Structure 1
Amino acid sequence: MLEPFFHGFILALGLILPLGVQNVFVFNQGALQPRFVQALPVILTASLCDTLLILVSVLGVSFLILGSFWIKMILIGAGCIFLLYMGWITWNSKPSNVSEESRNKFSLKKQVVFAASVSLLNPHAIMDTVGVIGTSSIRYQGEDKVIFAFACILVSWLWFFGLSLMGRLTGKLDQSGNFLLVLNKLSALVMWGAAVFLLYTLVSK
C-alpha cells in the first residue's frame, strides 16, 4: 500500500520540479497579484488540469488520443502559437504597477484561460504525464492504482499552492519591482524558447 503511494509521489515530484511554462506562470501570478486569494484561480485551474491529465493517463485514455498523428500535430501547433502570445504578454507586463497591470493583463477570466492553456496545450507536460505516469501506472491494479494516482495528484496540488506562496513572498520582498521585471523577461524567454522547440518538432515531423 505504501509502495504505490511513494512511487507516485516521487515520480510526480520529479516531473513537476523542472522550470517550465506552467511553473513560471503560477509563480508569477503569486508574485504579481495584490492578494494571495486573487492567485487562487490560477492555482486551482493548474491543479485541476494536472488532475485531469493524470486521471486520463492512468485510465489509459490518453494513449488512444495521442496515438493519432494529426491530433499530436494540432496540439503542438496550438501550443506553439499560445506560448508565443503569452511570452509577448509576459515580456510587456510592468510589475511596478502591480494592481493596474494585474487587472488589465490578468483578469480572472484570463488567469483561468492562461493557466488551463499552459497545462493542456503543453505537449511536453502531456507527453511526460502519458509516457511516465501513464506507463508507470500499468504495474498497479485496483486499490494500488488508485493510491498511485492519488499520490501524483497530491503532489500537483501541494506544489502549485507552495509555488504561488513562494511567488507571493518574493513579491512582498521586492518592493521596487526590479526582480519581478527581470523574472518576467526570463519567463518570456522560457516561453519563447519552448515555442521555438515545439516549432522545430513540428517542422521536423
Structure 2
Amino acid sequence: MPAYFQGLAIGLAYVAPIGMQNLFVINTALTQPRRRALLTALIVIFFDITLALFCFFGIGTVVERFALLQLLLLLCGGLIVTRIGVGLIQEEPTLDQSVEVDLPLKDVAMKACVVTWFNPQAILDGTFIFGGFRAGGVAAGESLQLILGSSSASFLWFFGITLVISLFRAHIGTKLLKAINTVCGAVLIYYGMGLFLDGVGRVQQMLSSLF
C-alpha cells in the first residue's frame, strides 16, 4: 500500500473514535452557525495535525522516558477533562437561529487547544500510533507521504462530521440536544476521572515502592 494511503488509514484510526475532540466539534456544530462550526473544525484540525507531527517526530520518546511527565499528564489532564464534562452538563443549549453565536476566536482556539494538547489520551494514542509506526522503520521519502495522508484524514473527518451535523441539526430539538450534552458530559467525566484515578494509582505504586 502506498505510504500516503497508509497515513490516511492511520489518521482515520486516530481521529475517528469518539473522544474530546469529536465531542467538542459535534457540540459546536449542533449549537453554532455553520460558518463558525467550520471555522472551529479548521482550528481543531490545526491542533490535531500539530500534535500528530510532534508525536511522529519524537514527542513519544520524551513522554516514555520520563515517568513523572506521564504522571502529570494523567493527573492534570484528568481533572481538566472532568471539568469540561461538568461544564457540558451544566450548559443550557439553544437552537435559536435568530441569535448569532460568535465566540471570540481566541476562546475557540483555547478550547480547541485544551481538547487536543491537554488530552492525555490523545497524546498517548498519538505517541503509540505515530511514534510506534516511525519506530518500526520508515524510509526518508515516505515520511512526508505518511504525514500528508494523516493530515488528509483529519481534514476529511472533522469537516465531514461538522457538515453532516450542521445540515441535520434543524431536526434536533432542545430536549434531545440537552440529552446529548448530558451523555457526552457524563462520558467525559467518567473518562477524566478514570485518567485521574490511573494517575493516583501510579502515585500509590511509587510510594509503596519507596516504603
Amino acid paired to 1:51: I
Alignment partner of 1:120 is 2:122: no
Amino acid paired to 2:189: W
Amino acid paired to 1:134: G
Q: Deviations over 1:42-76 (max 9, x none)?
A: 21221111111111122124312442122222222
Instruction: State the match for 2:55 in structure 1.
Output: 57
- The 1-side partners of 2:96 and 2:88 are apart by 13
Instruction: State the match for 2:11 in structure 1.
Output: 12
Comparing 22-31 with 132-141, which one deviates more in the overlay?
A: 132-141
- The 2-side partners of 1:13 and 1:42 are apart by 19
SS, match of residue 60 in structure 1: helix
TM-superposed CA distance for 1:98, in Å, is: 4.9
Q: Deviations over 1:102-144 (max 9, x none)?
A: 56xx554332211110111111111111101221133212221
Comparing 63-72 with 91-100, which one deviates more in the overlay?
A: 91-100
- The 2-side partners of 1:42 and 1:197 are apart by 28
Give the alignment's Cα RMSD to 1 decimal. 2.0
Comparing 20-29 with 165-174, which one deviates more in the overlay?
A: 165-174
- The 1-side partners of 2:24 and 2:189 are apart by 13
Amino acid paired to 2:23: V
SS, match of residue 94 in structure 2: helix
* Residues 195 and 61 of structure 1, relative CA distance in 2, 3 Å threshold: closer
- The 2-side partners of 1:181 and 1:169 are apart by 19
* Residues 101 and 91 of structure 1, relative CA distance in 2, 3 Å threshold: farther
Q: Which of 115, 139, 142 is matched with 1:141 structurally?
A: 139
Alignment partner of 1:26 is 2:25: yes
Alignment partner of 1:185 is 2:182: yes
Q: Which of 64, 70, 75 is matched with 1:72 structurally?
A: 70
Q: Select the structure of larger CA radius of gyration.
A: 2
Comparing 51-60 with 184-193, which one deviates more in the overlay?
A: 51-60
Comparing 92-101 with 57-66, which one deviates more in the overlay?
A: 92-101
Amino acid paired to 1:27: I
Q: Report sequence identity in percent.
A: 23
The answer to whether the 8 A contact 1:29-1:167 is kept is no
Structure 1 residue runs of 5 or longer lacking an equivalent are none
The answer to whether the 8 A contact 1:77-1:199 is kept is yes
- Misfit runs of 4+, over 6 Å: none
Matched positions, count: 200
Amino acid paired to 1:189: A
Instruction: State the match for 1:166 in structure 2.
Output: 164
SS, match of residue 176 in structure 2: helix
